[in-house]
Amino acid sequence: MSETQLSHEYWMQLAYAQAALAAAQGEIPVGAIIVSQNQIIGQGFNAPISLNDPTAHAEIVALRDACQNIQNYRLPDDAVLYVTLEPCTMCVGALVHSRVSRVVFGAFEAKAGSLVSARQLFETGYYNHVFSFEAGCMQQQCSEQLSAFFKLRREQKRQLRLQEKLLNTQK
């Protein structure tokens, strides 16, 4: 494994830890960090439910944190976003406007991924800024984290339905 791959895995592990914080709050476990000059300048995790904000995806939360920390709406030229799930269309748009230089993501998002999976937004030629990206860093761990979360949610819903059914039969 190259030094660059080791570095990417180091930062992705920190994004993965952010995703675990989201899961602990009942949010879909997606985490993100933004790195510049080997320092974290922004971090965040999915929080649309707890913040009552449909735009509070991990990438957006991390961008807001970074921009507040550096006091600029544009990121430094070397800024890299690490995120555990392929960004959606909204997040790609925000990343373009932030002028991030690179995005490294873990799991692919078949339904809403906008770099590789569902859409390839940069193939449109529309954007005035294009960042490079790397797909699949810690893909298995990131995918398993999401799968485990949704499996638990399904089991919780199943248990709730069983309890409701039991209560209804006791009436």
142 is in an annotated binding site: no
Alpha-carbon separation of residue 10 from 30, 40, 127 (angstroms)? 16, 12, 30
Cβ contacts of 150 within 8 Å, gap of 6 or more: none
Token reading at 102? 């690179």
8 is in an annotated binding site: no
Token reading at 113? 């991924």
91 is in an annotated binding site: yes
Token reading at 50? 């707890």
Token reading at 124? 């449109």
Instruction: Determine the residue type at 66.
Output: A
- Active-site annotation, residues: 59
Token reading at 123? 């193939």
Q: Which residues does the annotation place in the binding site for Zn(2+)?
A: 57, 88, 91
Q: Which residues does the annotation place in the binding site?
A: 57, 88, 91
